[in-house]
Amino acid sequence: MVAKRKKKYTVGEGAQFMTRKAALKKLQLSLNDFRRLCILKGIYPREPRNRKRAQKGHTGIKTLYYVKDIQFLLHEPIIWKLRDYKIFNRKVGRAKALKDFENLRRYLNNHPTLKLDNIVKERYPTFVDALRDLDDCLTLCFLFSTFPSLPHIPRDQSALCRRLTMEFLHAVIEAKALRKVFISIKGYYYQAEIKGEMVTWIVPHHFSFEPQQKSEVDFKIMSTFVEFYIVMLGFINFRLYHGLNLYYPPKFSSVSISETEKSLVDEEIFVSERVCALNFPLSKTSEVAEEEEIEIDNFNSEENPEKIEEAKREAEKIKKLKTLFKGLKFYLNREVPREPLVFIIRCFGGEVSWDKTLFVGATFDENDESITHHIVDRPSMPKQYISRYYIQPQWVFDCVNARDLLPVSKYFMGEVLPPHLSPFIDKERDQQYIPPEERALYDPSILEQQYNKDAEMEEEGKEDDSEDDNGEEEDEDVEEDKQDSTMEEVEAEVIEDNTNKKKPKLSVTTGEVYKEVPWKKDQQDRQAFKLREKLVKNKHKKLYKSMMEGRKERAKEIWLLRKKRRLHDEKQAEEKKTKKKQK
């Protein structure tokens, strides 16, 4: 029997992929419904190895999906709900056209609703799975929480995003889970450690919103993502609050209500304003015992003792970081961004307040003498208290990243601030220029070297006159020392030669230290490297050449940046000297 020949593109990549047009035809959905379904179910286009085979011989670039993914969507109950929406829109349109208001009212009261609870549970079977995918969820929800009323976005969506994100911030404050912060042009970067998972998100700056002029951003697709993320974040908040023994939705412990808060008659508005203030502790369902110290298990202590010690040091640093601002009281001036600073200060055990006429949630007034730090973002203040420091907001962020309370002198009002460095960059990165301030962030000894250099620069100016008089005497002393050392070396060589002559042939001689010649070693390394280059296959040579060219360009860029920094430092040192001489 001769085996039957298979048709072309029925096996391999031709059978694995399907175009979007074919998927729409198979599912019998419109393009908008198909996009919405793929977003909710987490299905996205794929890139094949061989595009021509995957597209069954057709040229060009088409959007391709796995055939198995489309077959998986065929049995999805949401498809029927999307079809119900289609029928509902047709009925409402017909009733409007015929001015049949009775049926129109009946249709609107019984409109179909799409529930996403089962999809969230299906996509994230465990809580840790949801935490691993929380970065995009938080970033998009924080972005939508700043939006005003826009077309293609439901009115309740931005308000719900605002409420859920504030609830999440309260959970991070209660758990003291914040680890890193950074201010950038995009907004505020935060990183928190929740159940052993690092969650990083961005909160945009609160500026006046300018509507999008061009249709570059498809807000409808973004709104579909947010529709799913809202349900997901609600589940996560519920689980976090119950893990911390907190009531959900949040309830506040008994606090005195100020006069400005009495105007908030509606209970929901009152609670939402308090949630947004981030300045009140939440009431707990039961008394929780104090956190016990985590003991690190010493498994394989013989193999990796260094890793265990490093883990212990990291645990001690985090323990110290959680109470970084404990015992400190901060007062925020009216021009300072309130939400990020309140969130950060409260995460690390500090107390914070502001002018009670500006916003709800102030706990103490400006004239309180127990205030230790007054955060200001202006060059001067007409009225100042002696008992507190007047600092710029960057001090709070830099202290968190340094995991220690930095000296306040560099952050006073009107001072030129030190560079604000990102803590999210890998400190062991290669082929990149690392400024000295960033190296000092990871290695405190570099800071001491810098301080020593500054002290030496100051001493040089004082010793310039004395060096000219004593220069000749020092040169004579150096020459005498050199002569003495050469004489000692010659005598030692003569003694060694005499001892070697006296020893018999069979005696054991002391080993000589082999001194490696640096230029010979470099020459051998270059030769070995050239031999390894010849072993590169022909098909990889172009890639190898481009990699080496890129390495050379990066090395050149690093050299230029170092030169630029050196010239800058020399210029500053000269300016300091001239200023001292003028004084």
Which tens digits make up the pLDDT trace of 62-117?
Answer: 999 999 999 999 988 899 988 898 899 999 999 999 999 999 999 999 888 888 99
Assigned domain for 391 exists:
yes
Extract the runs of DSSP E, i.e. beta strands, from 4-87: 17-19, 64-66
Q: Is the pLDDT of residue 242 over 80?
A: yes
Mark whether 226 and 90 lie in a shared domain.
no
Q: Is the pLDDT of residue 233 over 70?
A: yes
Q: How confident is the model at residue 137, as a pLDDT?
A: 94
Q: Is the pLDDT of residue 343 over 60?
A: yes
Residue 489 DSSP SS3? helix
Number of domains in the chain: 4
Assigned domain for 408 exists:
yes
Assigned domain for 88 exists:
yes
Assigned domain for 309 exists:
no
Mark whether 452 and 412 lie in a shared domain.
no
Mark whether 39 and 124 lie in a shared domain.
no
Domain final position from 109, 142, 173: 109
Tokens of 493: 């060589």
Domain final position from 424, 442, 477: 424
Nearest to 260 by CA among 366, 371, 355: 355
Mean pLDDT of the chain: 82
Mark whether 85 and 136 lie in a shared domain.
no
Mark whether 87 and 140 lie in a shared domain.
no
CATH number, position 389: 3.40.50.10190
Assigned domain for 188 exists:
yes
Q: 287 Cβ partners below 8 Å, 6+ apart?
A: none
Which tens digits make up the pLDDT trace of 112-166?
Answer: 888 899 999 999 999 999 999 999 999 999 999 888 777 778 878 888 999 999 9
Mark whether 232 and 335 lie in a shared domain.
no
Nearest to 226 by CA among 135, 138, 111, 133: 138
Which tens digits make up the pLDDT trace of 428-463?
Answer: 667 777 777 777 766 666 656 655 665 565 565 555
Mark whether 446 and 545 lie in a shared domain.
yes
pTM value?
0.76
Mark whether 95 and 50 lie in a shared domain.
yes
Mark whether 199 and 237 lie in a shared domain.
yes
Which tens digits make up the pLDDT trace of 271-300?
Answer: 677 777 888 888 887 765 445 455 555 555
β-bridge mates for residue 197, sequence order: 194
Quickly count helices (H) and strands (E) in the chain: 21, 9
Q: How confident is the model at residue 488, as a pLDDT?
A: 52
Mark whether 171 and 68 lie in a shared domain.
no
Mark whether 140 and 224 lie in a shared domain.
yes
Assigned domain for 105 exists:
yes
Range of the structural domain that residue 18 is part of: 13-109
Nearest to 345 by CA among 143, 162, 188, 178: 178
Q: 279 Cβ partners below 8 Å, 6+ apart?
A: 342, 346, 352, 353, 361, 362, 363
Assigned domain for 561 exists:
yes
Mark whether 146 and 239 lie in a shared domain.
yes
Domain final position from 91, 109, 127: 109
Assigned domain for 2 exists:
no
One-letter identity of residue 455: A
